[in-house]
Amino acid sequence: MAVTEVEVEAGTSDPAGNVAPGRVRIERFDVTLGPLLHLAPERQRLASPQFNEIEVIPRGVTLGAEISGVDICSKVPDSTIAEIAAALADYKVIYFRNQPLTSAQHVAFARRFGDLEIHPFITGNEEHPELVRFAKGADTGGFENGWHHDVTWREIPSMGAILHAIEVPPTGGDTLFCDMAAAYDGLDTKTKERIDGLYAIHDYMLAFAQQVPEGRQQEMRERYPLVRHPVVRTHPVTGRKLIFVNTYFTSHIEGLDEVESVELIKHLSGQANTIEYQFRVSWEPDTVVFWDNAAVQHYASSDYYPDVRVMERASVIGTRPY
């Protein structure tokens, strides 16, 4: 008896149409596909901002908002500063367009949120040492194109950073941010249980060894000893749990052998590569970005060589991670 072939019309069905929402794994290539359902509550919460003195326009999924209706070059009222701080806690990364800050105005605005750091390893603005200056071009390479929190090698890392674009290339040079609370929430239960209560050691020498003058290594080590932070820290404002290790400054995890420690740091830091956790800022001259250094890691895209990119950053001192 002959078997009759049944023709199936192409393009009439979704290959995942019979799969319930969630993640699907392709074991052969260690790839996981599908919607990240745990993002939905935060996405919905942030969709309807409630502010009186500033306009907040959500631009990302769980992070990222554009702020308008305020001139940060001028003296900003305390009530407006409070709303900006609230927006930062909610959206983790906020930005302002067309804000031609002078260096003095930049420092004055940043000081409204707390005391400012002076970075010992990166060149500052000549008149205002609180401002770190990043001037990149054909003769000066940028090495910020990796995911990291700033200055986790300090006992008290920065609360946040305010970065002002002074000169930007015609294309490229974007900065990407990753929501490390979303990254933590997306971990499987076994991994969360494994890392609960672990501590990591952070060391400036991993990234800044070449910046230390010859003969001053011991002096700088005494000033900036190895520091110990929880692998999962709690946000001081929102109370959310956050992955707090990175491959720039995290040396190792206490209690683990070297291989296991490195693999775990790589795995946790690698969560920042998940695009659904990210928000990307495309710079224009006089764009100012304020990010929450506890809540997000960032990555400065180094794709604009040999063009020039000049930025200045003020960092606000934070609280001890717990």
Hey, which residues are catalytic here? Answer: 148, 150, 298, 313
Rounded to the nearest 5°, which phi and psi values hold at 275?
-60, -35
Residues facing 137 on adjacent strands: 140
Alpha carbons 95 and 93: distance in angstroms, whole number: 7
Place of tokens 């300090």: 154
Residue 31, classed as helix, strand or coil, is strand
CB atoms closer than 10 angstroms to residue 93:
26
Amino acid letter for position 90? D
Contact 147, 298 (CB under 8 A): yes
Is the previous residue joined to 35 through a cis bond, with omega within 30 degrees of 0? no
Rounded to the nearest 5°, which phi and psi values hold at 25?
-110, 135
- The pair of structure tokens assigned to 210 is 């070449």
Alpha carbons 184 and 244: distance in angstroms, whole number: 9
Alpha carbons 310 and 129: distance in angstroms, whole number: 16
DSSP letter string over 72-129? TTS---HHHHHHHHHHHHHHSEEEESS----HHHHHHHHHTTS-B---SSSPBPSS-T
